[in-house]
Amino acid sequence: MDFQPSGLEIAIALIVTTIAFAVGYYISRRRAIPVEIKNHDLENEVNNLKTAVQNSESRFHQVASSISDAIYVARISKKGELKFVYLSPNIEPITGYNPDFFMQSPDFGRVYVHPEDRHIIQSLVHHLGEGKDDEVDYRWVHGRKGVIWLRNSGRVVQDDHSSNITIYGLISDVTERKRIEEDLNSQKRLFENLLVVAQATTGHSTMKDTLRSILDIIMMLIDVPASSRSSLFVFDDKGVMASTLLSQGEHVYQRKRQFIAEVIDKGLVGWVVKNRQKALLFDTSADDRWLPLPEDSNSAQSALSVPIMSGASLLAVLTMTHPDVGYFTMDHAYMLESASNQIALSVRNAQMHNIETQQADRQQTLYDTLRAISSHHDPKEVAKIAANIVSERTHWPAVEILLPDDSRERFIVAAATGIGATNKGFAITLDKGIVGRALRLDETQYVPDVKQDPDYVMADTNIITELVVPLVRSERMLGALNLLSDEWNAFDQDDILLAESLAEAMALALDNAGLHKDLLSAKEAAESANMAKSEFISVVSHELKNPMTSIRGYADLLSSGVVGEMSPQQENFIQTIGTNVGRMQTLVSDLTDVSRIESGHVHMDFDAVPLVDVVGDVVRTMRAQMESKNQDLVITTDDNLPLVWGDRNRLIQIMTNLLSNAYKYTPENGRVEICLRNQLHANNGANESVVLVSVIDDGIGISEEDQKKMFEKFYRAPDREARSSPGTGLGLNITKNLVELQNGRIWFESEFRKGTTFHFTIPIAEDE
């Protein structure tokens, strides 16, 4: 730091220089006077001059004793010897010795210069001897005050012809100034150190890096050996220790956590935590606060520990040790205390960063795992992918996933990574091991030291920590997530939380995989049963057709009277046979249709068909029946109805089914209307030209409950009125399928006991 000379200094320098020349003049004049006196006039002048000189001499003494600094005049001989010729009286308050002492002492009191600074005085004398002005500071041992600082500045005046050199000098006590200077310097050093701490500790992304840089930089600034036991313990908001860093790599990891626990509980750190103030241990062996540990070498003879506060709460404790007794000073303590704000800031930053990145990391791991496993339906595949991704995304040294075998009594390691990879295929039963206990209790099991756990089944001697989370869904045990480590107490609360979230994701994926498998096999079973049924129906109906045709043929033959007259009763019987065979034929043909539809073997013969003709054909076959029930049949149709694109015979089948239902489920004297319209129907956002056929009756209607099941196979409304007409419950199902096979739609509206309307559409045939 630069010091500008103060006003006082400038004044002193001026005075010294002025005095120096005044004294020089006086001395030279004194020597010249005897030579110059020649006559009486001169005598007067000489007397005048003498008086003037005396006056100026006394003025000089006055000035010399009035300033606080001591003034001296000295001569250096040719041989380089120094001799004081004048010392102002105030040399005594400054140095503790009077002018005579300096004048008479052969070494001019140089023995009182601090031994380490004697070379400075030597170099001053040397410089002056060479005719160079010089100014030096040195320590002086004052009789009463002890060590003080003196400043000695000397100016050289050379004689005209003699080789003697005269020195005019000033000795001042600069102890106070030195102290201020030293303070300023140490402030400056402190400031610089803090700057170094700030630079070194900010900008680290992880807590570990931040703590490491804090500890490293403080150890360097305080100058403690790298091997010393120094530490930084960080506490969370609840005062629970959250992170630690020990400078020494010597502690065996397994003992580390235990060691930390002990130090915090009973040791020096514990004392600082409790008292919230710094502790300076001059000699650790004589201080109760120091907790000697078995593996400690004697490297920590003195220690310094300071609390790092963040507001009113304790954030961390920083501890330094040194192999020498009494190494640490109040300066060190002051330095640590001054740096503590910066340390607190850096730790807080790292904590925030830690929380943010940890949460983001955890979410990312969870998300990645879920995404990777959710599309797989094989439990083993799910386990393998999950284990790999989890061990990639975390620091966990071994990830195992166990799945139940077919008996569900044993769980097998289906996937394993890291140091547990060799365990793959290993089987456990529920009554054994920590995994068995987790599955039995349906609870996470965290065991920081497996050797202390009576349930532990030794599989690998390297394993020390085990964390098991059962994979459960709706009370079903789907497996277990098992994390292992070869370090003691390797997992913390965050690890357990993440493991539990991951276990939930895995259980979900495994459950889905299981459901998918069940669904798949159920679907396969249903499909093959359906195929078998369709095949059976088609074989049986085929086999029934021929005998029924022949029964009908013979019945017709008998009723025609060709083979002889029949009594009215016989004729009645034959008619019953005929009706029943007819019903059986309908049933057989319906069943054949259903099985064909289901097996996808319906043959369609598409053509442009005039629906009016189809309706006409059907009405012709039905009219007699309807008239016998005295039902009115009305047909309304748009003019110029376009042709539809369909299978004529299937369209006849559709119309027949709907008209015969209208006939069956409408009482005598009822009314049935068939309505054909040309319409535009929305289909997948586009308008499509269709012919809409509606069959409207005022019959028994369908209850709301029954309406829902109308198109199901074999469904007949339980309504007694409906059941009084014969039927199979297949007609509407076949009809719906046939409409849809011709790209149409079918629906109905009905009101119980009021009537029913069935609508269906068939797309029109495009113009060629």
* Residue ranges binding ligand ADP (CB under 6 A): 657, 661-662, 665, 697, 699-702, 710, 715-717, 722, 727-732, 756
Q: For residues 78 and 753, which CB has a smaller minimum distance to ligand ADP in the complex?
A: 753
- In single-letter form, the type of residue at position 267 comes to G
- In single-letter form, the type of residue at position 741 comes to L
Rounded to the nearest whole angstrom, what is the least distance from the CB of residue 637 to ligand ADP in the complex?
A: 20
Closest CA to 53 of 18, 23, 21, 75: 23
Q: For residues 20 and 594, which CB has a smaller minimum distance to ligand ADP in the complex?
A: 594
Q: For residues 321 and 735, which CB has a smaller minimum distance to ligand ADP in the complex?
A: 735
Furthest CA-CA distance within the chain:
209
Q: In the structure encoding, which two tokens stand for residue 142, read together?
A: 């004052």
Tell me phi and psi for residue 367, to 5 degrees: -65, -45
Enumerate the β-bridge partners of residue 468. Answer: 445, 482
Closest CA to 477 of 447, 446, 437: 437
- In single-letter form, the type of residue at position 115 comes to P
Q: For residues 121 and 654, which CB has a smaller minimum distance to ligand ADP in the complex?
A: 654
Element (H, E) at 121: helix 118-129
Pairing of strands 632-637, 671-683: parallel
Q: For residues 101 and 715, which CB has a smaller minimum distance to ligand ADP in the complex?
A: 715
Q: Check if the beta carbon of residue 231 is closer than 8 Å to that of residue 251.
A: no
C-alpha span between 477 and 403 (Å, rounded): 9
Tell me phi and psi for residue 457, to 5 degrees: -105, 115
Q: SS3 for 698?
A: coil
Q: For residues 486 and 697, which CB has a smaller minimum distance to ligand ADP in the complex?
A: 697
Q: For residues 322 and 716, which CB has a smaller minimum distance to ligand ADP in the complex?
A: 716
Rounded to the nearest whole angstrom, what is the least distance from the CB of residue 589 to ligand ADP in the complex?
A: 12
Q: For residues 466 and 697, which CB has a smaller minimum distance to ligand ADP in the complex?
A: 697
Rounded to the nearest whole angstrom, what is the least distance from the CB of residue 631 to ligand ADP in the complex?
A: 12
The alpha carbon torsion through 225, 228, 234, 238 (nearest 10 deg) reads: -150
- Angle CA 298–301–304, to nearest 5: 130
Q: For residues 57 and 721, which CB has a smaller minimum distance to ligand ADP in the complex?
A: 721
Q: For residues 162 and 725, which CB has a smaller minimum distance to ligand ADP in the complex?
A: 725
Rounded to the nearest whole angstrom, what is the least distance from the CB of residue 729 to ligand ADP in the complex?
A: 5
Half-sphere exposure for 140 (CA within 13 Å, toward CB) = 28
C-alpha span between 681 and 346 (Å, rounded): 72
Rounded to the nearest whole angstrom, what is the least distance from the CB of residue 702 to ligand ADP in the complex?
A: 5
Rounded to the nearest whole angstrom, what is the least distance from the CB of residue 650 to ligand ADP in the complex?
A: 16
Give buried/exposed letters for 567-584 (b at 16+ CB in 10 A, else e).
eeeeeeebeebbeebeeb
Chain centre distance of CA 222: 36
The residue number whose beta carbon is nearest to ligand ADP equals 727
Q: Check if the beta carbon of residue 280 is closer than 8 Å to that of residue 333.
A: yes
Q: For residues 412 and 741, which CB has a smaller minimum distance to ligand ADP in the complex?
A: 741
- In single-letter form, the type of residue at position 762 comes to I
C-alpha span between 269 and 230 (Å, rounded): 11
C-alpha span between 230 and 247 (Å, rounded): 5
> Going along 604-670, which residue ranges are E strands?
607-609, 632-637, 644-646
Q: For residues 423 and 585, which CB has a smaller minimum distance to ligand ADP in the complex?
A: 585
DSSP string, 559-578: HHTTT----HHHHHHHHHHH
C-alpha span between 405 and 428 (Å, rounded): 10
Rounded to the nearest whole angstrom, what is the least distance from the CB of residue 683 to ligand ADP in the complex?
A: 25
